Amino acid sequence: MIKTGDLVVVHTKFQPFKHPMSIISALIRVFQWLSNGFKWEYAKWNHSEVVYVDWDGQVYLYGALSGGITKRLMREWHDPSKRICKVYREYDIQYTEATPIEVDTRIQTADHRKYDFASLLFFQIIYRLTFRKLWLGRKGDKADDKLYCSEFYGYVWKEKYPDWYTLSTSDILERGQVKEITHGCI
């Protein structure tokens, strides 16, 4: 069962003529592959979103898109002709009836944040090319007003990811702190 705070990882199919933005998705995967020592296992995912389950059981996705953090119904978002996805969960979090309040609050209050183009297109590339040694972007509380997709997930779980502002989707998976819940989206 999907819960608030779960991670949805996405592989956007490369369809440059039908969906030109899929070119950026492919470039993200290439940079992740290069910086992960040419391991495809984690680099095949180019985007991530955070699950939010409303009080009435509706499943929403919060994700950082070019217009900023957006909220969408998961069932309306999933389109297998455009993307492949899996759902992961932080393995050492003890879920009760409620998600940890900090996580719930960070998700629900994120919609005013803008997209972090500078970190994705400049700082992440430098970070990847220096094999995760040099981060020139904003850090900590100075970094939370603009977020890209995996940075948003790290921000939601920032107690677990102290360097959340540097994260890529492959970093989250590679660290082994999440376990697969579903193969595909529902």
Distance of alpha carbon 43 from its chain centroid, rounded? Answer: 13
Domains belonging to the chain, first-starting first, are 7-183 (3.90.1720.10)
At 88 the pLDDT is 92
At 43 the pLDDT is 84
- The 3-state DSSP class for residue 152 equals helix
- Least Cα distance to 4 among 153, 175, 162, 111 occurs for 153
At 94 the pLDDT is 59
How many degrees, rounded to 5, is the angle at CA 147 between CA 32 and CA 137?
Answer: 70
| Rounded CA separation 14/7 (Å) | 22
User: Which pTM was predicted?
Assistant: 0.88
In tens digits, the chain (186 residues) has pLDDT values of: 888 899 999 988 899 898 888 888 888 888 888 877 787 888 889 999 999 999 899 999 999 998 999 999 988 887 777 888 899 988 776 555 445 788 888 898 888 899 999 999 899 989 988 888 999 999 998 999 999 999 999 999 988 899 999 999 989 998 878 888 887 765
At 49 the pLDDT is 94
